[in-house]
Structure 1
Amino acid sequence: MTSDRTLPALLLALLVTGCATPDGKFYMGGKDNFGEANRQTMAAQIIDPDPRYDTAVPDGNGAHAAAALERYRTDKVKKPERVRTSRDLAGAASGAAGPN
């Protein structure tokens, strides 16, 4: 009858020791690591209020911007180049089977 309780107790002891570190402290549920993933995620979303960059901010061209704005106001915007794709590539991307 004791062998029926020995095996589950041995398995439980092995599972519990899996959570212990070499210094004897338990890894799971400690005050120092609880919620650490959440804190790291929140810290990654904070924007630096005074950023320092290695390179200088590129200079703008006011005359170029003014000309672009004037073209926009007079409806003479430069048309972008049309990008063409092949028929087979478009059919494959949409999941449609092409002719065999």
Structure 2
Amino acid sequence: MRATALAGLALCAAGLSACTTPRTTLSEDFGRALHEDLLAQIADPDATPVGPPPPSDGARAALAQERYRTGKVIKPTPATASKIGVVAAPTAGPTP
């Protein structure tokens, strides 16, 4: 009985495997989305700045370097979604 069941199962598996066709080639646009995403993330090496360079302040840069050297770096305050652009509502006074 067990041999007959295994033979039937093997026959079914062989029959079902004939229903699939092997895919030997990929679509011609395979990988196109990945390629487009990579191109969108790559900076243009030939980009030229437009307008004057941004202003810089040597004194402020020197102060920042000194704070870094002495270990007294001013840490930025973390921004959270609940704090950005939130204006505190006026509080109501005590009710009589």
**Shorter-chain-normalised TM-score: which range?**
0.3 to 0.5
TM-score (norm 1): 0.34
User: Greater helix percent: which structure?
Assistant: 1
Larger radius of gyration: 2
TM-score (norm 2): 0.35
